[in-house]
């Protein structure tokens, strides 16, 4: 495993982060989830990402139980705040001071830890003054409940505004967690340049485009039984945008490129996002422990310019690049 600094800080995280969105507390049983965490640790992963909204807080509980016997100083635990949790009442969502303060306490209890290494604003909240949100994060850092603060799916303008306020309040945003893959490149034009200027790194989710870049979905054929595309608990909805024959045809063109690079298709997809110097880590999920070891081999891989150009030729116009697609909801749902 290789490690990278997160933003303009002295904090290092593993190039591969284990994430439990859409798996722990929903798609897989708790014992299998624990086996996946153990496999991640065995593979050298030290960084774990979750959120209070995943499985309506259950994912945090499962992760906390799986990590409770680990030396706390040797791992990095990330979680997030914004989405509705619990009964989803009028103050159970968003980035108000009330919701943030109550949420960090709930997350720490479920994760069985005194602090999280990184606390992230899961989305931008248009209904709460940004000053209120940033002051709450500053207080959480001073209380020692979070060591660092990040955001997720914020636009370049939102990152700039949040960064300026954070510096005034005595802390600094060090990360953004956006979607990023060969097929979803909307951060490249504005978010990445702003982040490089301000000292933030990207911790990217869905580097395999919900599994489509694994190559297991074939054009004109039904999705494999048990795959995410057949999951009725949320997976099928998330992957639907990619389940088109032109996209699947383009993805199949990556197979000989992966072979040339000596990689599997999942390894190629993960290695590709890690070629971006502003990416500190790629988040990888797993529903079976045996999925982890192979994908972790993407850490430390360097793809030469020829391979990168062939990937661009294969994907071409199939990739979404519009910066306007990096946005948070305008209103609370």
Enumerate the active-site residues: 54
> Distance between CA atoms of 166 and 86, rounded to whole angstroms?
29
> Distance between CA atoms of 252 and 268, rounded to whole angstroms?
13
> Distance between CA atoms of 81 and 103, rounded to whole angstroms?
7
The secondary structure of residue 38, as a DSSP letter, is H
Contact yes or no for 70/326 (Cβ under 8 A) = no
Q: How far is CA 320 from CA 143, 170, 187, 235, 316, in A?
A: 41, 37, 10, 20, 10
Residue 23 buriedness (CB in 10 A; 0-12 / 13-18 / 19+): buried
Please name which of 37, 47, 43, 40 lies closest in space to residue 1, comparing C-alpha atoms: 43
Give the number of other Cβ atoms within 10 Å of residue 245's Cβ. Answer: 11
Q: How far is CA 289 from CA 32, 216, 224, 284, 292, in A?
A: 8, 18, 19, 12, 6
């Amino acid at each position: 495993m290789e490690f990278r600094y997160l933003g303009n800080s002295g904090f290092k995280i593993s190039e591969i982060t284990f994430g439990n969105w859409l798996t722990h507390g929903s798609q897989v049983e708790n014992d299998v989830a624990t086996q996946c965490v153990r496999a991640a640790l065995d593979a050298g992963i030290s960084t774990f990402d979750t959120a209070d909204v995943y499985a309506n807080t259950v994912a945090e509980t499962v992760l906390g139980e799986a990590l409770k016997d680990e030396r706390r100083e040797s791992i990095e635990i990330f979680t997030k705040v914004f989405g509705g949790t619990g009964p989803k009442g009028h103050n159970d969502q968003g980035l108000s001071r009330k919701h943030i303060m109550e949420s960090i306490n709930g997350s720490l209890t479920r994760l069985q830890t005194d602090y999280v290494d990184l606390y992230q604003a899961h989305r931008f909240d248009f209904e709460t003054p940004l000053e209120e949100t940033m002051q709450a994060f500053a207080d959480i850092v001073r209380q020692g409940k979070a060591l660092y603060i990040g955001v997720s799916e914020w636009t370049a303008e939102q990152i700039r505004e949040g960064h300026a306020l954070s510096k005034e309040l005595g802390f600094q945003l060090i990360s953004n967690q956006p979607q990023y893959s060969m097929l979803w490149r909307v951060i490249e034009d504005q978010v990445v340049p702003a982040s490089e200027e301000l000292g933030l790194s990207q911790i990217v989710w869905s580097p395999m485009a919900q599994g489509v870049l694994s190559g297991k979905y074939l054009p004109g054929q039904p999705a494999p039984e048990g795959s995410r595309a057949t999951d009725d608990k949320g997976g099928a909805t998330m992957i639907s945008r990619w389940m088109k024959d032109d996209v699947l045809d383009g993805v199949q063109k990556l197979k000989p490129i992966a072979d040339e690079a000596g990689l599997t298709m999942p390894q190629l997809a993960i290695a590709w996002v890690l070629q971006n110097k502003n990416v500190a880590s790629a988040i990888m999920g797993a529903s079976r422990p045996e999925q982890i070891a192979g994908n972790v081999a993407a850490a430390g891989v360097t793809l030469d310019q020829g391979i990168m150009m062939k990937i661009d030729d294969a994907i071409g116009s199939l990739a979404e690049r519009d910066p306007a697609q990096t946005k948070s909801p305008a209103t609370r749902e």
